[in-house]
Structures are given as structure tokens and as C-alpha cells.
Amino acid sequence: MKLMSDSTAEPALDVSPHLAPVVYLTDAVAAVGGRLKDRPEDFIVEEIPAYEPSGTGEHLYLFIQKANLSTTEMVDILARHFGVPQHAIGYAGLKDKKAITRQVVSIHAPGRKFEEFPSLRHELLSVMWADMHTNKLRRGHLKGNRFAIKLRGVPLRAAMDAQKALRMLERTGVPNRAGEQRFGLLHNNHLVGRALVLGRFDEALREMLGPARLRVAPAEADVPSQTAAREAFARGEYAQALELMPHGARNERRVLEALLRGADARGAVLAVGEAQRSFYFTSLQSAVFNAVLDARLRAGTLDALQEGDLAFKHDNGAVFDVDAEAIQRGDLPSRLSTLAISPSGPMWGARMKRARGETDEAEVAALRAFGLEVSDLESFARQDPDAFGGDRRPLRVPLSYPDVEAGSDEHGLYVRCSFELPPGAFATTVMQELTKPDRAPPPAKDRATLEAAPSEQLADAVRAALQGGGRPRRPGELPTDIPGLGQGAS
């Protein structure tokens, strides 16, 4: 069996997910360079919960610690262990895969307690505490995230430039770009989402499993292990493709298994499950948002409001129209400078509040650049009202409690950057502002870095320059390393 091409397919669009900054807000600070995520324990993130569980209710709340697992993989493991559908599991935010992450999840288990289930034993996942609550945990139900990130392949002196850049971002806010992890290994999750919105399931399959995508994969993507499997898929040899597909490629294997059971393109794509399909839709929204953000950065209006904009209030997430009356009040500049408000951009969906005038025209143009019309979203929403509702997203976000430390461990020298971000913001975007990968020299190897380490006098100078430069640490701030994390995952 071999799938035919879509009769409605169009020539491939040049729809980059806009991963890298077009303009750095920290342009005046030298590039730090270095390597991110050498190992999961170099990237630690912990949720700051919005509330504590009440102790009663139908929803089991778990504080999960995971290593080298995506959020969708975690959901799949929990659904199978607790014997519930994926939609019974709630989480406040998506978390990085190649990282040590701690987050709260909810599981709808009416009439049952945590101790009634078998012990959850998994080498990459553990439960730190369990409680009960009255409602499902929804996306955005958190105060923010704490990050502790080690940069490798940099000299200790790089800590001073990292400190300068973080201080600048604390004053100006961080461009709220969706990070590269939102777009998947091959940076094409948004294209799968676009195909689903348009009902082009053959196209979605080609994006998920086709070999052509490997030829435009990011240089850092680990794709050789999938090459033979994808070529077998293109030949219509699904059994061989499944045999060759790495076991870690869970979604690809699910699709191939569905094809072998006789599913058509639609049934095969839907086999990935609700959580993963939602991730594809969010990736599409994020790609268009990044394009709008880039345009505002080029225009120099990331921290400015103009008539027709929708201003985002950081204290409660509400938006308001920027009309002539709001501009005449005269308080917008002070509220912008204190990061009380920011311009917003579109996370497109049928129920999203739209801007007006030139702002709306620019946002519609960004959507069209991805081969979509507003009417496409409206048509899709009629079929699946909950899948693609839409929202407004601030174009910049505050960064708080920045801190920088330099040191060494058994893996070599590092510069560790710690900070907090509000829900939905990406630490990788912050780190791009520090590392400026398109400007920095190639990161040094660990051994070469150690051999070229600065003298003890310079190390003392770095520590002195940083002393007192950070902000007060929050109670319960992330430890520099967490015992037991990453075992078997590093």
C-alpha cells in the first residue's frame, strides 16, 4: 500500500519558524558563545506553582521530575501507568526534553487515591510528591519557571558579559520568541500543524515521515538513525520503515503502526494522540507569532504601542485596545518602561481577539505567508472547537532574579545563568541573547578550555566582578545540582 499525493497540494512554501533573532536587544554586549545542553543536568527548570492542591477532589496532583523526556512522552507514560486517556492528564506548561525538569501534572482519577495505584517506576521519571485537588491543571496555571543553565566551552571571563546581558534584559524585557524546541527535531512541527488545519493528511504524513525533510534538517539534528526508515516509508514499505525507525521516535512509530493496520492518511496521523496534535497546532501558532515578533524588532517597536495595537497587562494577562483615548491619557510610556504592559502578538485562532488597523493587517499578512487565511482557521474551528481557539501573547516578557556564577566540575569549566521567566516564555531565547551563536567563535572543547583556563588571579577578578551583581535569590531557589537526577539519562 502506498499513499497518493494530495490533489490539493501546493508547492512547498518557504515558511521558516523564525528560530533565531533578527535583532539582538543586547547588541551592545559581546557574544558569550558556548554550548547549551551538553547533558540534561546542564539545563534545570522548575515550575513555580500558581496554587497548592487542596487535599481533596477527583484530580490527583503529582510533582514530576523527569530527565530527557518531552512533555508529550511524559503524558503518554502517565496515561498508560494510571490507565486513563491522555485528555485526563493536565499540565501547566510544556517543558524541554533535553533537561532536568520539575513540574506539576494532574490526573483525573475520581474515587481513587495515589496509593491505590502501583508504584511508578521509570528510569527517566519519578514522583516527588502527590496530593488531591478539585480541578484539572490547565495550560498557564503557574506563576512562572526557575531556570539554572550551564554554558560549556567558555572561559570564566565570559561570566562578566553574561551578567551584563542579563541585567540589560532585566531592564528591557526579553523578546518572547517561541524557542526551537517548540518546532521539533526537524524544525517542522508547525508545517504538520498547518497541514492538519487544511485537512491535508497526506501532506502531514510527508512532513512527519518523508525523507525530503532530512535534507533541510538543522545541522544539530540527530537524524542519521532515521534516514533508512524514512526512505522505506517513501517507497511505501511501511513494515520495513517501522523496523528501521528508532524506538525513541514514538510518534513516527505510532503512525507507521496505524498504516500497517490499514488506516488511511487521516487515521494514521490521528494515531499520534490528542496531546501531540495540540503540540503541532501550538507550533503553527508560534511560528506565525515569531514572524510578527521579528517584524516588530526590525521596526524598533517591540517596546512601543501604536493605535490599533492590543496591549498586554503582565499582572493579569488581560489585553486592552490602544485607541486614541488610551494614547491621550499619556500613561502608556511609563507603564511600558516599567514592564507593566507590552505590545501583544497573535497566537492565531478562530476565537482570538484581533488587533485593528495596520497592526491587524500586518498580523494577517504573517498568517498568509504561511499559506493560511483567517477563514481556514474558522473552518477548522467548526470541526474541532477546542483545538485552535487562539490567544494574544506578549511580544516581550519580564526577566527576574538574574544571577551568574562561574566554576568547574568533572565535565570542565562552565558559566551558570539563573533567572525566572513568566509562563510560556523560553529560556533558550534568553540564552540566544547571551550567546549570539551567529557571532560567537566556535565553543572550545572541554579539555582545551581547561588548558586555556585563566589564572587564579583572573578567576578571582571574575568572582569579584560578579559579587553582589546578581539579584536576591528567591526562597527555595533551584540548587546547582540535584542528587539523583539524570541517572541513566546523561
Catalytic residue positions, numbered: 96
d(CA 257, CA 281): 23
Among 45, 24, 60, 310, which Cα is nearest to 177's?
Answer: 24
Alpha-carbon torsion, ordered 34, 24, 162, 41, to 10 deg: -50
Phi-psi region of 226 (alpha: psi -120 to 50; beta: other; left: phi over 0): alpha
Q: Is 48 helix (H, G, I), strand (E, B) or coil?
A: strand
Length of the chain as a residue count? 490
d(CA 108, CA 86): 10
Strands 174-175 and 100-108: unpaired
Q: Is 65 helix (H, G, I), strand (E, B) or coil?
A: strand
Q: Cell numbers 496530593 correspond to what residue?
A: 131
d(CA 25, CA 417): 18
DSSP 27: T
Cα of 449 vs its chain's centroid, Å? 30
Beta bridge partners of 174: 397
d(CA 320, CA 275): 31
Q: What cell numbers appear for 43 in the block?
A: 539545563
d(CA 252, CA 269): 9
d(CA 4, CA 191): 19
Find all residues with CB under 8 Å of 41, minimum gap 6, and list them: 67, 100, 481, 482, 485, 486, 490
d(CA 263, CA 253): 14
Beta bridge partners of 119: none
Q: Please give the single-letter amino acid code of residue 434.
A: L
CA geometry: angle 431, 435, 439, nearest 5 deg:
145
Cα–Cα distances in angstroms (integers) from residue 373 to residues 14, 72, 197, 278, 292, in the given order: 16, 29, 11, 20, 16
Q: Please give the backbone phi and psi of residue 364, each rounded to the nearest 5 degrees, phi first.
A: -65, -40
